[in-house]
């Protein structure tokens, strides 16, 4: 995903007639000190370790709405609500708007950097008792003086300092969009994982309650045999012990479920309130599809927004090296001043303020060169270059971490499915063993210890199965989240919602940077395809 930040080319592509002032800079566009950013080689595996498993498919897939593989309408609704209401995502969207405005500041450096208009007017009534206050010897009359002036200075972008600045701001803007996408991917994954955890805990609570019913029946049988003199009091006491332990798991699981519901409320941007309306129609633990399409590792470089963000941050820093290096060379500027002065002491009238004899002006080139900087500029270049190297390494490390996360998710799915298969056999055997143990105890051929063991084994096996099934679904969520899918749902939408836009526009004039909802929104540039190199350099956003 190499992006050659040739700002002169992008200026020519994005310029319009109203950019006529930039024509003076174009002849200098061929000279830009500093490195041109090149994406470092990424350590990418040829295939996934689990690719040999028949259910793992490596064909290219669309991961835009990956959570729909669970076929759970409630989960679909939760994802929609989180996208609309999550406050962390809104914060990331506001930072995109900030970066867009910062890009306008950087582009503004192409225009004259200093424009100043000043003026003054004096009216004097000299004191007749103090000669020093009457330098013009006009004790018998008043006098006035008016002067207007302006100055302008335009540092030419001879060494590419300002072009590198735009390049850096442009990459930083795209990086905030990629960071927004990363927040969205994380948000969707968290919503899905939290929802699956809630459904898993609901299943565990239902299992505990079902086993409480079974264990109460065994207790009643033990009490009946004790009252009939067929056994000692030990049997009902042991039955009560096992029953109470199972009952104690219910409040513990309920507390865990409420904790997950609290986390879900935060993800949905909701205050503490009941989620019964959203979670009422339970379908149990969301089931996974038989096959998992993961593509190939190299596709992560395009799809995962955190990898894009890491690359773009490095690109922005690469341009900062050029900005720092430009300070080593002389700065050439064009400047000028113009002014006019009229005063009654010179016999002028006010309408002569703009007459030729009242106007003075001067213009010409200048340069400055900080040759005695005591190594400060050179060391600043080194600082920027070291930061670039750190970001390049961070990019490579991000690629490695992304592959690890996918591998972790695939392992959880593949190994978890094997565990589920074994636990299903365990539950079937434990259920049958309990039936037989109760029958034999009732007939007196077995002691109550066999029943207790069978009850505990059944509850443990059923609980383990529910946890394992939930882990498989969470593992699939981890996989799709690690693959970087889901951020595509923001396409066609702005980064801040209408209430936020209205609040911001009520405070500040945002112009075209933040248009109202009834006007076309500016393009939200992402990197959805290999042919997309990002947006053109945009005009200043005042």
Residue 18 has pLDDT above 70, yes or no: no
CATH number of 7-53+71-110+159-208+250-328+376-415+473-513: 1.20.1600.10
Instruction: Tell me: pLDDT of 362 over 80.
Output: no
- In this structure, are residues 231 and 448 in contact, taking their beta carbons and an 8 Å threshold? yes
pLDDT at 10: 38
Q: What is the pLDDT of residue 159?
A: 87
Indicate the average pLDDT of the chain: 81
Where residue 82 falls among pLDDT bands split at 50, 70, 90? very high
pLDDT tens per residue across span 57-71: 777 677 788 898 898
Give the separation between CA 211 and CA 215, rounded to whole angstroms: 6
- Answer yes or no: are the C-beta atoms of 112 and 154 closer than 8 Å: yes
Q: Please give the residue that has the higher pLDDT: either 132 or 360.
A: 360
- CA dihedral in degrees (39, 43, 49, 55; nearest 10)? 0
pLDDT of residue 250: 96
Q: Is the pLDDT score of 163 beyond 60?
A: yes
Residues above pLDDT 90, as percent of the chain: 42
Output the pLDDT for position 538. Answer: 40
Q: How much is the pLDDT for 223?
A: 92
Residue 525 predicted with pLDDT over 80: no
- State the pLDDT confidence band at 20, using cuts at 50, 70 and 90: very low
CATH 2.20.200 positions along the chain are 115-156+331-368
* Ranges 27-41, 137-151, 366-380, 415-429, most confident: 415-429
Q: State the pLDDT at residue 408.
A: 93
Residue 198 banded pLDDT, cuts 50, 70, 90? very high
Could you give the residue range(s) of every CATH 1.20.1600.10 domain in the chain?
7-53+71-110+159-208+250-328+376-415+473-513
Q: Which two tokens stand for residue 216?
A: 């109460």
pLDDT reported for residue 334: 82
Position 218 scores a pLDDT of: 93
For residue 7, the model assigns a pLDDT of 35
337 or 25, which is more confident? 337
User: What local confidence, expressed as pLDDT, does residue 16 receive?
Assistant: 38
pLDDT of residue 403: 92
pLDDT value at residue 34: 87
- 127 pLDDT band, cuts 50/70/90, is low
Q: Does the pLDDT value for residue 45 go beyond 90? A: no
Under the banding of pLDDT at 50, 70 and 90, the label for residue 312 is very high
Q: Is the full-model pTM beyond 0.75?
A: yes
Q: Residues 20-27: contacts with CB within 8 Å, 24+ apart?
A: 21/110, 21/111, 22/110, 24/156, 25/110, 25/156, 25/157
Q: Report the Cα 118 to chain-centroid distance in Å.
A: 45
Q: Give DSSP secondary structure letters for 431-459.
A: HHHHHHHHHHHHHTSS-HHHHHHHHHHHH
Better-scored residue on pLDDT, 365 or 205: 205
Mean pLDDT over 225-254 rounds to 93
Asked whether residue 540 carries a pLDDT value surpassing 60, the answer given is: no
Confidence of residue 455 (pLDDT cuts 50, 70, 90): very high
Query: So what's the pLDDT on residue 58?
Result: 73
Instruction: Please name the residues in contact with 433: beta carbons below 8 A apart, sequence gap of 6 or more.
Output: 454, 457, 458
CATH topology of domain 115-156+331-368: Outer membrane efflux proteins (OEP) (2.20.200)
Least confident of 10-24, 321-335, 368-382, 457-471: 10-24
The arithmetic mean of pLDDT across residues 241-247, rounded, is 95
At 174 the pLDDT is 92
Q: What value does the mean pLDDT take over residues 454-471? A: 95
Give the model's pLDDT for residue 514: 78
CA 181 vs CA 60, 103, 253, 267, 282: distances in Å: 21, 19, 34, 16, 30
pLDDT at residue 3, as a whole number: 39
> What does the pLDDT read at residue 63?
78
Given this model, what pLDDT does residue 388 score?
95
pLDDT at 289: 75
* Contact status, residue 151 vs residue 336, Cβ threshold 8 Å: yes
Q: Give the per-residue pLDDT at 185.
A: 94
pLDDT for the residue 135? 54
Q: Which of 68-82, 112-126, 398-412 has the lowest mean pLDDT?
A: 112-126
Which of these, 309, 313, 526, lies nearest to 401 by C-alpha position? 309
pLDDT higher than 60, residue 128: no
Model confidence at 391: pLDDT above 50: yes
State which of 36-40, 212-216, 357-361 shows the largest mean pLDDT: 212-216
Neighbours of 139 (CB within 10 A): 12
Q: Which two tokens stand for residue 526?
A: 């992402």
Given a cut of 90, whether residue 373 has pLDDT beyond it is: no
Structure confidence at residue 390 (pLDDT): 96
- For the stretch 147-158, pLDDT in tens is 777 777 777 888
CA distance 51 to 59: 11
């Amino acid at each position: 995903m190499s992006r050659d930040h040739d700002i002169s080319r992008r200026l020519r592509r994005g310029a319009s007639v109203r950019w006529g002032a930039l024509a003076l800079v174009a002849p200098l566009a061929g000279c830009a000190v500093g490195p041109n950013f090149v994406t470092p080689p990424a350590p990418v595996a040829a295939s996934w370790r689990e690719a040999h498993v028949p259910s793992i498919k490596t064909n290219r897939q669309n991961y835009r709405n990956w959570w729909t593989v669970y076929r759970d309408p409630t989960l679909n609704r939760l994802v929609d609500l989180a996208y609309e209401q999550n406050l962390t995502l809104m914060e990331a969207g506001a930072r995109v708007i900030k970066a867009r405005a910062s890009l306008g500041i950087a582009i503004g450096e192409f225009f004259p950097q200093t424009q100043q208009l000043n003026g003054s007017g004096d009216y004097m009534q000299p004191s007749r008792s103090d000669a020093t206050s009457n330098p013009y010897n006009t004790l018998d009359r008043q006098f006035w003086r008016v002067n207007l002036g302006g100055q302008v200075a335009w540092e030419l972008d001879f060494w590419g300092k300002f072009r590198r600045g735009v390049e850096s701001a442009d990459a930083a803007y795209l990086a905030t969009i990629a960071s927004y996408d990363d927040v969205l991917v994380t948000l969707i994954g968290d919503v899905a994982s939290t929802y699956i955890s809630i459904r898993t805990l609901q299943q565990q609570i239902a299992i505990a309650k079902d086993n409480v019913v079974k264990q109460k029946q065994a207790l009643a049988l033990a009490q009946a045999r004790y009252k009939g003199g067929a056994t000692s009091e030990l049997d009902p006491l042991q039955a009560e012990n096992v029953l109470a332990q199972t009952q104690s798991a219910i409040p513990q699981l309920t507390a865990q479920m409420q904790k997950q519901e609290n986390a879900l409320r935060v993800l949905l941007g909701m205050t503490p309130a009941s989620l019964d309306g959203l979670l009422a129609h339970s379908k149990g633990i969301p089931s996974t599809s038989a096959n998992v399409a993961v593509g190939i590792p190299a596709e992560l470089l395009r799809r995962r927004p955190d990898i894009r963000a890491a690359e773009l941050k490095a690109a922005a820093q690469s341009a900062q090296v050029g900005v720092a290096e430009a300070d080593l060379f002389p700065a050439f500027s064009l400047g000028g001043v113009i002014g006019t002065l009229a005063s009654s002491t010179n016999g002028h009238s006010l309408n002569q303020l703009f007459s030729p004899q009242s106007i003075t002006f001067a213009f010409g080139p200048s340069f400055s060169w900080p040759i005695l900087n005591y190594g400060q500029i050179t060391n600043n270049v080194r600082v920027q270059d070291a930061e670039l190297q750190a970001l390049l390494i961070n990019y490579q490390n991000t690629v490695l971490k992304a592959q690890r996360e996918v591998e972790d998710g695939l392992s959880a799915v593949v190994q978890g499915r094997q565990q589920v298969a074994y636990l299903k056999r365990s539950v079937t055997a434990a259920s049958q063993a309990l039936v037989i143990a109760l029958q034999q105890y009732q007939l007196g051929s077995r002691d109550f210890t066999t029943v207790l063991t069978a009850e505990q084994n059944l509850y443990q096996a059923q609980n383990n199965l529910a946890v394992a099934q939930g882990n498989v679904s969470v593992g699939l969520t981890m996989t799709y989240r690690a693959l970087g899918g889901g951020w595509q749902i923001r396409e066609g939408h702005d980064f801040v919602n209408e209430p936020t836009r209205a609040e911001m526009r009520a405070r500040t004039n945002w112009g075209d940077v933040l248009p109202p909802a009834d006007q076309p929104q500016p393009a939200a540039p992402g990197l959805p395809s290999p042919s997309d190199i990002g947006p053109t350099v945009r005009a200043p956003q005042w």
